[in-house]
A and B are shown apart, each in its own frame.
Chain A
Amino acid sequence: MLEIIGLEKVYPNGHHALKNINFSVPQGEFLVVIGLSGSGKSTMLRCINRLHDPTGGEILFNGVDTTKLKGLSLRKIRSEIGMIFQHFNLIPRKTVMENVLSGNLSRTGIFASIFGIHSNETKALAQKYIEIVGLKGKEKNRADNLSGGQQQRVAIARALMQNPKILLADEPVASLDPATSHSVMQYLKKVNEELGVTVICNLHFLSLVRQYAHRVVALKAGKLIYDGKPLEINEEWFKTIYGEDAVEVTIN
């Protein structure tokens, strides 16, 4: 469903972040992207939903090249791609319900959204997703008063509210403790398996990768250097991806 062909990204300051990236993601896959900080993982995810504009190559999303889109058609494609972030990026001072409803902005008129007018179906849908991520009863809490893991779950519910075909997760557990990390990963797994949403997830910990990924791609200095099964990443590959001095740290 997603095909990346010869993707290039050069930042205005001359930094060559992505160099000729090629891979495709079939419907329903849980794909994990690994690599050192600065290897281009975040940039690649942001090129898919055009938070960053690629400087070359094509990204085919269900056959449509997203790199050429503008205005309304770009917003339409973005609405089909959910995204969650390392720092959750919820709207501060707003309730859980309001945050989840903000996932539906692309289908709400500008004035209706500003005055907070939502149809009953939309509200029922938001309620359903809040329950799916296990936050029933917290609808009226301020989102920024929740714990990190809970905030990330609100972010997942917000992304689900878009009814996405694909979910991008940019290091979703990097600022969470190990136990909470697993909980959030479990919800992503649930979204992938039960709702059939394709997931592309950037991760740091190989132990999480082995547990949740169907497939792994690795980036190093902007190049794709590994594409295969998580269990096939042995000591040798580990050293190639993370450098000679790296030691694997596990998270259980």
Chain B
Amino acid sequence: MKQNVYKKPNVTVLTIKAIILDILAWAYMALVSYKIIYEKIIIDERYPEFAWNQPLYSLYAGALIAAILFFTKLSLGRGLFGLIKFDENESPSSQAFAYIGYLLILLTFITGFYVSQISLKEFLSESGLEGAKRIFKALFNPNWGIFQEGLFAAIETIYMAFIATAVAIPIAFILGFFAARNLMNGSAVAFTFYNVLRAFLNVSRSIEPLVWAIIFSVWVGIGPFSGMLALCIHSIASLTKQYSEQIESIDDGPIEAITATGAHPIQVVWFGVVPQIVLPYLSYTIYRWDINVRMATVIGLVGGGGIGNLLMQYQGQARWNEVGMLVILIAAIVWTMDWASSKLREALK
């Protein structure tokens, strides 16, 4: 029997969280209003100067506004943490504090608009449209003369992605067990290992394959090998995480039953865990290969070999007819892989 210990939320802690949220929200609004609304829109400064005392002053201003409004109905923090009482029949989105939230979103939208330098004038300018027309025209007149060259590069990309996935599978398969909480919470040593592995995986997953490709192109030289290594590292981290999550969601029953027969722990994993995870694993793995083919194209752009590399070369020389040919090839590969992998995964269900 599980014991339910219902902990009442601590009002002091919630109030402190609410104050911090209020101060940060108002400081953000103050800073954005000054930098974007005032400097860019109202006085239209071309190169507004930035000084570190600006966010500092915003913080003071934020704290001041937050302090004034904290005990009114306009405190966003108190509203979000449930410290403002209102009629249960009313929806929270129509409360006064919600309007502060809408203001926050509006300011962010305006800022985003200016930071992205959205300009219809440039989008529709005559010379710009002329350039776009030129490129599109070339793209739709692909140079079939490089079809063979492009095809070989594409094959290189597909095999590179395949090997990266294939090398990652056994490593991720083994690491997956060690990264599964329900298998590793038996002893303190195992749990420490689990935490270290998880941290390591999270770090390597948060580094984009593009960055890995740059690192490896310096390490082993430009070419498919560096691209393959980059994809491999990323695949190991991603697959291990997906595999271990699959292990964490399995039914404990068969594990219990196999343990009860007096089986060795390795047998318990093989007979109690593995049969439950084989199909989802296959599905994840095929999807990963599919992703890797797409990523391999991008990775080629930074010297990872394959069709991406070729694309980069022709694009650098502004040879748009050739680029058009490659774009068609890439689209064909991605579409085929997408279709094949979804069919395969469907068949596995």
By a beta-carbon cutoff of 8 Å, the part of chain A in contact with chain B is 13-15, 17, 38, 49, 51, 75-83, 85, 87-94, 102-106, 108, 110, 113-114, 155, 158-159, 162, 168
Of the 9-residue stretches B74-82, B83-91, B233-241, B264-272, which lies at the interface with chain A?
Answer: B264-272
Q: How large is the interface on B (under 10, 10 to 19, 20 to 34, 35 or more residues)?
A: 20 to 34
Q: How far is the CA of A78 from the CA of B257 in the complex (A)?
A: 11
| Interface membership of chain B positions 275-291, coded 1 if the CB is closer than 8 angstroms to chain A and 0 otherwise | 11011000000000000
Q: How far is the CA of A113 from the CA of B265 in the complex (A)?
A: 13
Q: Which residues on the B side are within 8 Å of A110 (C-beta)?
A: 264, 266-267
CB distance from B330 to the nearest CB of A (A): 38
Which 10 A-B residue pairings sit nearest by Cβ, starting from the closest? A79-B262, A106-B262, A89-B253, A78-B262, A89-B257, A105-B263, A38-B1, A83-B260, A75-B262, A105-B267
Whether B261 sits at the interface, judged by CB under 8 Å, is yes
Q: Which residues on the A side are within 8 Å of B2 (C-beta)?
A: 13, 15
| Interface membership of chain B positions 239-253, coded 1 if the CB is closer than 8 angstroms to chain A and 0 otherwise | 000000000000101
By a beta-carbon cutoff of 8 Å, the part of chain B in contact with chain A is 1-3, 251, 253-254, 256-264, 266-267, 270-272, 275-276, 278-279
CB distance from B349 to the nearest CB of A (A): 13
User: Is B260 a contact of A102 with CB atoms below 8 Å?
Assistant: no
User: Is A17 a contact of B261 with CB atoms below 8 Å?
Assistant: no
CB distance from B97 to the nearest CB of A (A): 38
User: Is B253 a contact of A102 with CB atoms below 8 Å?
Assistant: no
Q: Which residues on the B side are within 8 Å of A51 (C-beta)?
A: 256, 259-260
Partner of B275, one of A15, A78, A91, A162: A91
Q: How far is the CA of A39 from the CA of B6 in the complex (A)?
A: 22
CB distance from B261 to the nearest CB of A (A): 5
Q: How far is the CA of A92 from the CA of B277 in the complex (A)?
A: 10
Contacts beyond the supplied A83-B257, A85-B257, A88-B253: 6 A-B pairs with Cβ under 8 Å = A77-B262, A89-B256, A91-B271, A92-B254, A105-B271, A106-B263
User: Is A102 a contact of B275 with CB atoms below 8 Å?
Assistant: no
Partner of B257, one of A38, A90, A106: A90
Q: Which residues on the B side are within 8 Å of A87 (C-beta)?
A: 253
Specify the chain B residue showing the minimal Cβ separation from A49: B260
Q: Which residues on the A side are within 8 Å of B258 (C-beta)?
A: 91, 102, 105
User: Is A89 a contact of B278 with CB atoms below 8 Å?
Assistant: no
Q: Which residues on the A side are within 8 Å of B262 (C-beta)?
A: 75-80, 105-106, 162
Partner of B3, one of A15, A75, A88, A104: A15
Partner of B254, one of A75, A78, A91, A108: A91
CB distance from B341 to the nearest CB of A (A): 22
Specify the chain B residue showing the minimal Cβ separation from A40: B1
User: Is A89 a contact of B259 with CB atoms below 8 Å?
Assistant: no
User: Is A113 a contact of B254 with CB atoms below 8 Å?
Assistant: no
Q: Which residues on the B side are within 8 Å of A114 (C-beta)?
A: 267, 270
User: Is A113 a contact of B267 with CB atoms below 8 Å?
Assistant: yes
CB distance from A68 to the nearest CB of B (A): 17
User: Is B271 a contact of A92 with CB atoms below 8 Å?
Assistant: no
Specify the chain B residue showing the minimal Cβ separation from A79: B262
Partner of A102, one of B261, B264, B279: B261
Q: Which residues on the B side are within 8 Å of A15 (C-beta)?
A: 1-3
